[in-house]
Amino acid sequence: MSEFRLALRLGHGTLRSRPTLTLLGIVLLALGSFLMGGMTGTVYLLKGIQAEFLTALTVEIELTDQSESLRTRIYERTEIWPGAEFVQYVSPEATLREVEREMNEDVAELFGTNPFPPIIRVRFGETTLPTLDSLTREAESWAGVAGVIYPRQLWNRLEELMRSIQGSSGISAVALGIIAIILLGLCLRAQIRYRAGTWELVGLLGMSERTMGIALLVQEVVIGICGGLVACGMLYLLTVVLGWLLLHNVLLPTWYYGSVWLGSIALSVLAGALSPRGFDE
């Protein structure tokens, strides 16, 4: 019998010798990978939401008067801005109606007059934060522009929140990875101890250390593959539930599931490499 086939049979036999330990190892690895993948996936999804929020931002340019020449000049300048999706002129009357509809309040009667200036509203289909900053500074320098409204402070708060979430998720993911490696390593070690007699016998019969190493690798990779598939399935179900609750498509790309699966295999192999086995001691 070839060395490789012998290693496969030994690794397969070790997994089958204690099915409960094998199942426990798969469950522990799946839970660890799922929690780690869920945390990093949350950061990925939030970055996507952040990008959507950025493209949904509008820049409102307040004009000093409603003259046709000023309106046309500002309109034509903003129309050629990079990433501008549409440009709209909003009269003071239209702005007043929008505000009164949202507030359910007679604003004109409250102030005694219409307090809103004419506005050129610009929405972007695709842009970046530095670009928006540059364009708003440019617009503020134009003649006939009273001011530029751009929710920069809101964006700053969102960025601070993202940095906080990324930091906490990174620390938690590392901690979960360490816990998963320790628990899975104990599980793998228990499987070897259960078949310690078999491993000692094949060693006495002349099985090389390389063959034993391949057998151990088979054990670790099989548990990693199964645990990774379970983790990916759990992540997919989580996205389905979140999409149903939020009434919005929550999707993780295929490459992300692939990375979770490969990460599970890597965790399993690392847990085995760091865990002392009975015949090694």
What is the CA angle 6-11-12, rounded to 5? 95
Predicted confidence (pLDDT) at residue 280 exceeds the cutoff of 60: no
> Which range, 52-56, 188-192, 243-247, is most confident?
188-192
CB 155 within 8 A of CB 58: no
- Taking the C-alpha atoms of residue 56 and residue 126, their distance in angstroms, rounded to an integer, is 9
Angle formed by the axes of helices 152-194 and 19-56, to 10°?
Answer: 170
What percent of the chain stands above pLDDT 90?
17
The pLDDT tens digits of the residues spanning 154-172 come to 677 777 777 777 778 788 8
Q: Is 224 exposed, middle or buried (0-12, 13-18, 19+ CB in 10 A)?
A: buried
Dihedral angle sign, alpha carbons of residues 66, 70, 72, 74: negative
What is the pLDDT of the chain when averaged over all its residues?
82
Q: What is the mean pLDDT of residues 244-268?
A: 88
> Which range, 96-105, 197-206, 255-264, is most confident?
255-264
Predicted confidence (pLDDT) at residue 23 exceeds the cutoff of 60: yes
Q: What is the mean pLDDT of residues 49-54?
A: 67
- Taking the C-alpha atoms of residue 184 and residue 32, their distance in angstroms, rounded to an integer, is 10
Q: Give the residue range(s) of CATH 3.30.70.3040 domains in the chain.
A: 58-150
pLDDT, position 53: 67
Q: What is the mean pLDDT of residues 105-118?
A: 77
- Which of 206, 190, 197, 149 lies closest to 277, judged by CA? 190
Distance of CA 259 to the CA centre of its chain: 12
CATH 3.30.70.3040 fits 58-150, yes or no: yes
Predicted confidence (pLDDT) at residue 252 exceeds the cutoff of 80: yes
Predicted confidence (pLDDT) at residue 266 exceeds the cutoff of 90: yes
pLDDT, position 260: 94
pTM confidence score? 0.66
pLDDT, position 196: 66
- Taking the C-alpha atoms of residue 222 and residue 226, their distance in angstroms, rounded to an integer, is 6
What percent of the chain stands above pLDDT 70?
87
- CA distances in angstroms from 4 to 8, 161, 197, listed in the order given: 6, 52, 21
Q: What is the mean pLDDT of residues 227-242?
A: 92
| Span of 63-72, 106-115, 187-196 with lowest mean pLDDT | 106-115
- Taking the C-alpha atoms of residue 36 and residue 230, their distance in angstroms, rounded to an integer, is 13
Q: Which two tokens stand for residue 230?
A: 């379970």
